[in-house]
Structure 1
């Protein structure tokens, strides 16, 4: 069996991704969000 070697690309560091998520949560907390989809509200 031939094993394919694939390079692992990381465009953003894990720390930077976490910072983006934290900032997004803060924006949603302060500004709010309106969700009409019943399934998403569960």
Structure 2
């Protein structure tokens, strides 16, 4: 019982980690895109 609980907690923590890192990656990509667009206009 305890092992299953630990496993589920660990999996949910992992999911949160992966989602947040993907979000950060997308945000950094978006920032790069915006800055390159400004350079092209500029």
Tell me the TM-score normalized by structure 2: 0.46
Tell me the TM-score normalized by structure 1: 0.46
Larger relative contact order (CA 8 Å, sep ≥ 6): 1
Bigger helix fraction: 2
